[in-house]
Amino acid sequence: MIIEGKQAIWKEYQKEIADDKYFYVRSCVRQNFFPGSETAFLQIMREDLGKDVFEHSCHTTCTGIGYHGDVVPLDTMMTVVARQFALMTESGYENLVPSCITSFGIYTEVLDTWHHFPETEEKVRTYLKKATGREFQIPKNLAHASDLIYKFRKEIAQKAQYKLIDTNTGIPLKAVEHIGCHYAKMFPSKGIGGAEYPYVLSGMIEEWGGEVIDYPERRHCCGFGFRQYLVQANRGYSMSCSHKKFESMEPYHPDLILTNCPGCPMFLDKWQYAIHEMQGKSYGRNGEGIPVLTYEELAGLVLGYDPWDLGLQLHQVPCETLLDKMGIPFDPAKKYCGKNGKDLGHPACNPFEQKKMLTFKD
């Protein structure tokens, strides 16, 4: 590996990211998959970094999953996107920050379409006006939420309580990163580091003390191709994608997997459990799985947030091994307590020790 070659590519793929005053739009699915992530993002941006981040209660889906699943027509998708822009404009913001990679891809695609076909933009403006009476400005700056964490990675490092270093050995933790297809594969110039050697997550890992692993199937899909997973008959294909990645990364002994997209942590986390159930195979050391984190969760851990406030108890692969390595204290007794102390229910077993289906008590 010639690191200078990668660095040359990273220099080419940089993008402008606004300094402040963001209009944040949440993901449809992340709030269910990893509910602590978006909350952690807002807390980090507002409280740790002192930024103005605004959310609008009328924000809806971008229709991305429906659009890519061929059930939402292009004109409908663009009009819904135009409505999100209208909410941003009405709120007095100009910098759009989606939480979801699919949404980021959708917004990028729509803006690029309108750039090349201004008559399409005019048509959509008419649709929106007729349907809702709203008007909108095109965002001055579009950045994915991970772009912001990347932009402020040095500030986060300065405030870091913990680093991506094994406190027992002093050795940097090895991390696998996965940026999600819609972040840069469609528009490489819109992703930090481009599509082939993306840097958005690698930059965070390096800045916070870890070491990035480049493994052969790094570019392969995580398993959340919409048609692979949403069509039930295709789910074996989804799992085989994840399986291929796990097999490929296993010899490098990663300490964690860092993800960017709503689907990637879901599948890289959940399929580890499913593969373990099916084959008895685990990809971490000592029969454990490889913890899978979102970038907000990792930033939160680095900043000293309580792991259970970040929602790590809702991961299928237990994260305690990683917390131990980073030297992060945690209270096992509070793992399944909600923010208000309410019992969230406990898994019936540790999936990596006993072969039983994971269920939650009522």
Partner 1 sequence: MEKKKIVVIGGGIAGMESSSFLAAMDFDVTIIEKADKLGGHVRNWERLFPTMRLGAEVLDFLNQGVEGRVKIVYNTEITDIKKKKDVFAITTGDGKNIEADAVLVTTGYDLFDARKKEEYGYKIYDNVITSSDLEMLFTEGKKILTADGKTPKRIGFVHCVGSRDEKVGNAYCSKVCCVTAVKQAVEIKDRLPEAEVFCFYMDMRMFGMHFEFLYKEAQEKYGVNFIRGRLSEASENMDGSIVVKVEDTLAGKPLRMNLDLLVLMVGFVPSEGSNKVGKMIGLKTGPNKFFKTQDQHTLTNVSNIEGVFFAGACTSPKTITETITDARAAAVTVADYLHDQPLGRRTI
Contacts to partner 1 by CB under 8 A:
1-2, 4-6, 8-9, 194-197, 214-219, 251-252
Rounded to a whole number of angstroms, the minimum distance from the CB of residue 244 to partner 1 is: 10
Integer angstrom CA distances of residue 210 from 164, 172, 185, 308: 5, 5, 25, 22
Residue 267 contacts residue 224 (beta carbons within 8 Å) = yes
Rounded to a whole number of angstroms, the minimum distance from the CB of residue 17 to partner 1 is: 22
Q: Which is nearer to partner 1, 99 or 242 (CB)?
A: 242
CA nearest neighbour of 256 among 191, 217, 301: 301
Q: Which is nearer to partner 1, 2 or 233 (CB)?
A: 2
Rounded to a whole number of angstroms, the minimum distance from the CB of residue 216 to partner 1 is: 4
CA–CA dist 179, 201 (Å, integer): 7
Rounded to a whole number of angstroms, the minimum distance from the CB of residue 149 to partner 1 is: 24
Q: Which is nearer to partner 1, 255 or 297 (CB)?
A: 255
Residue 341 contacts residue 333 (beta carbons within 8 Å) = no
Q: Which is nearer to partner 1, 244 or 334 (CB)?
A: 244
Q: Which is nearer to partner 1, 6 or 15 (CB)?
A: 6
DSSP-derived secondary structure for 91-118: TT--EEEES-HHHHHHHHHHHHHHHH-H
Torsion from C-alpha of 343, 349, 352, 355, nearest 10 degrees: -150
Distance of CA 160 to the CA centre of its chain: 20
345: left (phi over 0), alpha (psi -120 to 50) or beta: left
Rounded to a whole number of angstroms, the minimum distance from the CB of residue 272 to partner 1 is: 21
Q: Which is nearer to partner 1, 152 or 183 (CB)?
A: 183
